Amino acid sequence: MENCDSSTTNASAALLNMLVEEGLPSPKQVPAMVKYIHQWLMANESDEHRLDRKLLDLTEAQPTDVVMTLLSVAPSCDRAAETMWKTILCSSRTAESVQLRLLDVLGSWPEHSTCTSDGDTTSAFALAATVVMWKILQVPCIPQIVMKILPRVFVHLLFQVLFSTLDTPMEVDKLWKECQQQHGFAASPNRFAVQTLKSLLCQMQGERVVMAVGRKCGWDTLLCVDTHHYAVALLAREMSCVSPPLCSRIFRYLLQLLSTQEPRWDLPALAFIVEVLKYQDLSGSSGKRVLQILSRHLQSECREKRYLALRALLKLTDDPLLARRMCSLAESLVQLLEEADGEIVRMAAMVLSFVVFENNSLIASPIALQLAEALLTLFEHDTSQVQQVSILLFQALVTIQLEKEEKALKRQVLQSLIPLFIHCHDKNRCVAQASWETLHCAAKFLQRNHLKKLVRKKKLWKFAECLVRRAWKHQAQAGEAP
């Protein structure tokens, strides 16, 4: 075969037919035969389907060798390679195994390394797999197997946009220039990935999504590293309006990837998950997995990941089962109260408030004391909304009876009386009302009925006199000068 002129149609095709009919070749011979079929098709355009059965036999026996060889020998997907891809992707014998291997390459930016049976270690580029996918998406009748795995293809294309924006190695750039010359592709690899993503959405009846995202400049936003996850969130919102079932399939695949692979793209993945949470059934293992992922991101060094995790938790508070499970996140949430970012603090306090108050749940004693200490500090936060949330959370904390740590918590409640009294006169009416309610709960917790009565009747000047008298009495008992 190596010495045969592939342009001699009858001789070369007959030779290949004879070799295959004699029995499947050894695995080491498959890559060479794939290369020969490609060479033969390039030379014999008019009779390009003559070797289809032989190609299918080889692919069924050695799918990895066929896929990797074809991607390496024709990375720009020339006419012959396109014919071969259509043949093996449209056959029920080979479609599934080929598509799974093509997916592996598609999700491995910039290259996927696999050694074929003949010892060839030439890498296959993710861009080459994207070109194949783009070619397939242009045919009138998409192979059924491609439609079946569209959500997974969608995810890999989405993240390829990010990776190709971050870095395009020299080898990939060389391949891209070859693709441009051969197919007339414009712009850059990341824009080509976006173009393929649009074609994919159109095949999923998502033309409205493509147009809606375009009107909001989402496709350009997707091409910027700093704003990529915002565009992913926009895309998820628009898709959830058109096809919640499709979003659910993508959601489940993202959960699988986030649970098993390195978090190179967990920020955009998290952005997509947050936007489609309300459409998901989280009653089973999915809910547990979601909380595990969110717990990990609460401790992330990335501010955006912490923010998205908190947004997701706030959405999940409507689910009674998941809300009960959030108690396990209390320690991570308390640590977030020490952040300088007011929005992060506000959201963390809101989630904690729900965990403590709405569920009537007991937080582990040491964490409860840390929470009380952190909240006292937040009473003087620069943002009135943070002040209000922290005061209300403190109220929830003292409302729930902490049996083992009631004595220790009592010290924190005593320290809260003066700040709460001062905030009862805050110019922000919401803060003032929250302070008055919490002061009443604090007096009740301390079992000081006379103080509780004064607060209830809003005789705060007398409440202040009682606090002063108590302070003087304390100093006198301690032998200190008033």
Q: What is the pLDDT of residue 24?
A: 66
Phi-psi region at 77: left, alpha or beta (left = phi > 0; alpha = psi -120 to 50): left
Does some domain include residue 85? yes
* Residue 418 and residue 467 in contact, taking contact as beta carbons nearer than 8 Å: yes
Confidence class of residue 481 from pLDDT cuts 50, 70 and 90?
Answer: very low
Among 22-26, 249-253, 327-331, 400-404, the least confident range: 400-404
User: Mean pLDDT across the stretch 22-45?
Assistant: 84
Q: What is the pLDDT of residue 290?
A: 94
Does some domain include residue 101? yes
Average pLDDT, the chain: 86
Question: Which residue bears the tokens 């441009």?
Answer: 180
Among 122, 146, 170, which residue terminates a domain? 146
- Classified as helix, coil or strand, 112 is strand
Question: Which residue bears the tokens 């919490």?
Answer: 438
Q: What is the pLDDT of residue 304?
A: 96
User: Mean pLDDT across the stretch 205-230?
Assistant: 94
Question: If you ran DSSP here, which 8-state letter would residue 354 be given?
Answer: I
Q: What is the pLDDT of residue 232?
A: 97
Does some domain include residue 346? no
Among 111, 146, 181, which residue terminates a domain? 146
Confidence class of residue 88 from pLDDT cuts 50, 70 and 90?
Answer: very high
User: Mean pLDDT across the stretch 225-243?
Assistant: 95
* Residue 333 and residue 364 in contact, taking contact as beta carbons nearer than 8 Å: no
Condensed to tens digits (0 to 9), the pLDDT of residues 298-347 reads 999 999 999 999 999 999 988 888 888 888 898 999 999 999 898 999 99
Q: What is the pLDDT of residue 155?
A: 95
- Classified as helix, coil or strand, 124 is strand
Confidence class of residue 390 from pLDDT cuts 50, 70 and 90?
Answer: very high
User: Mean pLDDT across the stretch 43-53?
Assistant: 80
Q: What is the pLDDT of residue 261?
A: 63
Q: What is the pLDDT of residue 404?
A: 53
Nearest CA to 193 out of 154, 156, 161 is that of: 161
* Residue 166 and residue 159 in contact, taking contact as beta carbons nearer than 8 Å: no
Does some domain include residue 315? no
- Structural domains of the chain, count: 2
pTM of the predicted model as reported, rounded to 2 decimal places: 0.86
Question: If you ran DSSP here, which 8-state letter would residue 380 be given?
Answer: T
Does some domain include residue 301? no
Does some domain include residue 19? yes
Check whether 140 has a pLDDT greater than 50. yes
**264 vs 362, residue with greater confidence:** 264
Give percent of the chain with pLDDT exceeding 90. 52
Among 127, 146, 165, which residue terminates a domain? 146
Check whether 459 has a pLDDT greater than 90. no
What per-residue string of b and e applies to 467-482 under the rule 16 or more CB within 10 Å gives b? eeeeeeeeeeeeeeee
Q: Which domain holds residue 4?
A: 1-146
Q: What is the pLDDT of residue 51?
A: 84
Does some domain include residue 137? yes
E strand or H helix at 244: helix 244-260
* Residue 61 and residue 24 in contact, taking contact as beta carbons nearer than 8 Å: yes
Does some domain include residue 58? yes
Enter the tokens of residue 236: 């998820």
Check whether 263 has a pLDDT greater than 60. yes
Q: What is the DSSP string of 397-411?
A: HHHS--TTTHHHHHH
* 270: amino acid identity, one letter: L
